[in-house]
Amino acid sequence: MVRRPTLRRQSRGFTLLLALGVVAVVTMAVMLSYSVVGREADTQADTRRQKQAFFAAEAGLAEGREAVRLLMSTATTSTLPLQATLGRPRVTLPGMGSDTYPWFELLPGTGTDGWNDYPITADTLDTSEIRTDILAGNYPEQRNVRYRVFVRDDDDDGATGFGTDSNRQLWVIAVGEVTNPNGRPTRAVVQALVANTDGQSVFTPGCISKGCGPDMNYDNPTDQNPPTDEETTTL
H, E, C per residue of 82-113: HHHHHCCCECCCCCCCCCCCCCEECCCCCCHH
Domain contains 149: yes
Q: How confident is the model at residue 55 (pLDDT cuts 50, 70, 90)?
A: very high
Domain contains 134: yes
How does DSSP classify residue 119?
A: -
Q: Which residue has the higher pLDDT, 130 or 20?
A: 20
Q: What is the pLDDT of residue 84?
A: 77
CA nearest to 100, candidates 152, 65, 30: 152
Q: What is the pLDDT of residue 174?
A: 93
Domain contains 11: no
Domain contains 191: yes
Domain contains 49: yes
Can you say whether residue 113 is alpha, beta or left, with left for phi > 0 and alpha for psi between -120 and 50 degrees? left
Q: How confident is the model at residue 233 (pLDDT cuts 50, 70, 90)?
A: low
SS3 content of the chain, % helix, strand, coil (to 5): 35, 20, 45
Domain contains 108: yes
Domain contains 219: no
Q: What is the pLDDT of residue 60?
A: 92
Q: What is the pLDDT of residue 19?
A: 86
Q: Is the pLDDT of residue 7 over 70?
A: no
* Distant-in-sequence, close-in-space partners of 127: CB < 8 Å, separation ≥ 6: none
Q: Which residue has the higher pLDDT, 214 or 96?
A: 96
Q: Minimum mean pLDDT among 16-25, 93-102, 125-134, 161-170: which range?
A: 125-134
Length of the chain: 235
Query: In whole numbers, what is the pLDDT of the chain averaged over residues?
Result: 76
**Mean local confidence (pLDDT), 72-82:** 77
* Distant-in-sequence, close-in-space partners of 155: CB < 8 Å, separation ≥ 6: 162
d(CA 93, CA 109): 16
Where helices occur in 109-222 by DSSP H, the ranges are: 132-135
Whether this prediction's pTM lies above 0.85 is answered by: no
Residue 124's domain spans which residues?
Answer: 38-195
Number of domains in the chain: 1
**Contact 49/165 with Cβ under 8 angstroms?**
no
> What does the pLDDT look like over 207-231, one tens digit per residue?
555 556 555 555 555 555 666 666 6
Domain contains 139: yes
> What does the pLDDT look like over 101-127, one tens digit per residue?
888 899 888 887 888 998 887 777 777
* Distant-in-sequence, close-in-space partners of 146: CB < 8 Å, separation ≥ 6: 56, 109, 111, 115, 116, 117, 118, 176, 177, 179
Q: What is the pLDDT of residue 161?
A: 64
| 117 backbone dihedrals φ, ψ, rounded to 5° | -70, 145
Q: Is the pLDDT of residue 58 over 80?
A: yes
